[in-house]
Chains A and B, each alone.
Chain A
Amino acid sequence: MGSAQVCLVPVGTYRRLWLLYLLERFRDACFGKVRLQKVAYFSEERMGQRPFAFQKAPYGPYSEGLEETLEQLLSMGLVKAEPLGKDGNKYRVVRAGDGESPYGRWLESVDPPAKIAIDQAVAQYGYLPQERLIETGHSAAGFEEAAPFDEILSASSSETVEVSLDTDECDELVLSLSPAFDAVRRQLEETDWAAHVDRIAPIDRL
């Protein structure tokens, strides 16, 4: 194992980790984006280090940043969307292998209160009927007084986030949640490396 230290990771990595942990806390899956947005809002409301800004929207607090991060996770294959007919999709984290998921441990290394806040918000709001959830969203702090699409909860402004993990584990965290690395891995997989090995010349000296 590497030495324990504080690594600085890009805030985008933290956003992807935060959302993966939140989705993972649902028993089966998160049913619908409205539910996801509300539970994310109520998680953040209890936190100091906030990954996403929220604005006033017709169905309650809404975050464009969270929507974009969800799209990233879907395109990276880390989250799967399954259709629910006219009610949109349900979202679940795609597990890598049979081992224990690292997301909770990684999130705790960034911000232990975030993990607790998410656990509580999923338990309290994650399974409410949709209408009740929307009503609850409309009663969020500052929602009623805000103009449509005004920001009602701001995100932390830092571009990097401190992570208390050993360096090896930081590598795992950053690479496994990196869209850039995801693009490379697709190219690595799709290349037929065996096809042309015989056309590579030996190196005489190094």
Chain B
Amino acid sequence: MAGALKTAARKLAQDPRGAGKALRGIHDPELQGAVYRLHVGGPGGHRLFYYVPPSRGSAQVGLVVPIFLSSERRKDFNYDDVDVNALGADIVSDYRAGRFDAFGILEPEVVPECAL
């Protein structure tokens, strides 16, 4: 899956909102249009749910927060295994605790072309 992840990373670095599809069923108005799904490895691939923090005034935050990446491909997905709480909450707590080495600024040109 490494190559597919690099492709996904490149897409997300280039255009986080355009890379995936916004989840429509999100109830909270604050999150509508902020949580996306991208299939890593093509339409039948692994689900990646991610959050793009909304802009504050004119400032773009410029972060992509992955919430969940499924280990199974799309058709084999088991919803019982979705532990969005574990992964999403870990990332939030790392950020809040100042563990910034767990994050990185990724420019699209850093991703090797061979991964595409």
- Residues of A with Cβ closer than 8 Å to B? 2-3, 5, 7-10, 13, 76-78, 94, 96-97, 99, 102, 159-160, 167-168, 170-176, 178, 180-181, 183-185, 187-189, 191, 193-194, 196-197, 199-206
What is the interface residue range for chain B against chain A?
35 or more
A77: contacting residue among B6, B28, B85, CB under 8 A: B28
In the A-B complex, the 7 residue pairs with the smallest Cβ-Cβ separation, listed nearest first, are A172-B25, A176-B25, A184-B88, A193-B53, A203-B104, A180-B85, A96-B27
Q: How far is the CA of A197 from the CA of B103 in the complex (A)?
A: 9
Contact status B106-A203, CB under 8 Å: yes
The A-contacting residues of B in range 84-103, CB under 8 angstroms, are: 84-85, 88-89, 92, 95-96, 98, 100-101, 103
Residue among A8, A102, A175 with most chain B CB within 10 A: A175
A sample of 5 inter-chain contacts (CB < 8 A) reads A172-B23, A183-B85, A188-B51, A200-B105, A202-B106
B89: contacting residue among A167, A183, A202, CB under 8 A: A183
20 new A-B contacts, CB < 8 A, other than A175-B35, A194-B61, are A7-B79, A96-B26, A102-B25, A167-B77, A172-B23, A183-B85, A184-B84, A184-B88, A191-B53, A193-B53, A202-B104, A202-B106, A202-B107, A202-B110, A203-B105, A203-B106, A203-B107, A205-B112, A206-B110, A206-B111
Contact status A180-B84, CB under 8 Å: yes
Contact status B110-A180, CB under 8 Å: no
A201: contacting residue among B25, B80, B104, CB under 8 A: B104
Given the interface contacts A184-B67, A194-B59, A201-B101, does A171 sit within 8 Å of B47 by beta carbon? yes
Contact status B92-A187, CB under 8 Å: yes
**B24: min CB distance to chain A, Å:** 6
Contact status B79-A96, CB under 8 Å: no
**B109: min CB distance to chain A, Å:** 11
- Residues of B with Cβ closer than 8 Å to A? 6, 9, 21, 23-32, 34-35, 37, 43, 47, 49, 51, 53, 56, 59, 61-63, 65, 67, 74-75, 77-80, 82-85, 88-89, 92, 95-96, 98, 100-101, 103-107, 110-112, 115
CB contacts (< 8 Å) of A197 on chain B: these are 61-63
Our count of residue pairs bridging A and B at CB distance below 8 angstroms stands at: 142
CB contacts (< 8 Å) of B62 on chain A: these are 197
Q: How far is the CA of A185 from the CA of B23 in the complex (A)?
A: 13
Residue among A77, A99, A185 with most chain B CB within 10 A: A185
Contact status A184-B27, CB under 8 Å: no
Contact status A201-B53, CB under 8 Å: no
CB contacts (< 8 Å) of A187 on chain B: these are 88-89, 92
Contact status B32-A196, CB under 8 Å: no
**A99: min CB distance to chain B, Å:** 8
Contact status A173-B25, CB under 8 Å: yes
Given the interface contacts A9-B79, A175-B84, A188-B51, does A96 sit within 8 Å of B61 by beta carbon? no
CB contacts (< 8 Å) of B25 on chain A: these are 96, 102, 172-173, 175-176
